[in-house]
Amino acid sequence: MIELKARTEQDAKREAVNLSEHNPGRYVIVFACFGLFASLSKRLGVFAPSDATFNWYVLNGKIKSFSTSQHVACQNATPSLS
C-alpha cells in the first residue's frame, strides 16, 4: 500500500497514473482508509470493484472503468447469509 497525497479524485487519478507508468503491467487501485492509498498488484481480484474507492483502476498508465461483468462477478462471489 502506498499512501497518496491526493485530496480529490482528480489528484488521485494523476498519482495513480504516475504510479502505473513507473510500474508497467501492474494494476493500481485506490482505497480509502484514513486517507487515500494505492495498491499495486499483478492481477485484479474478483472483489476489486467493491474494494476500490472509485469505479476505476489504472493499468499501464491508462485509466479504465470496472465493467458491468466485473461488478456482477464480484456480487456473485460474495456469499449470502441466507
Region of 49 please: left (phi>0), alpha (psi -120 to 50) or beta: alpha
d(CA 77, CA 82): 15
Q: What is the pLDDT of residues 19-28, one digit of tens each?
A: 999 999 999 9
User: Looking at the predicted structure, is the pLDDT value of residue 60 above 90?
Assistant: yes
Over residues 30-42, the mean pLDDT reads: 94
Q: What is the pLDDT of residue 82?
A: 66
d(CA 64, CA 78): 23
Please count the CA atoms within 13 angstroms of the CA of 70 that sit on its side-chain side: 16
Assign 78 a pLDDT band (cuts: 50, 70, 90): confident
Share of the chain above pLDDT 70, in %: 99
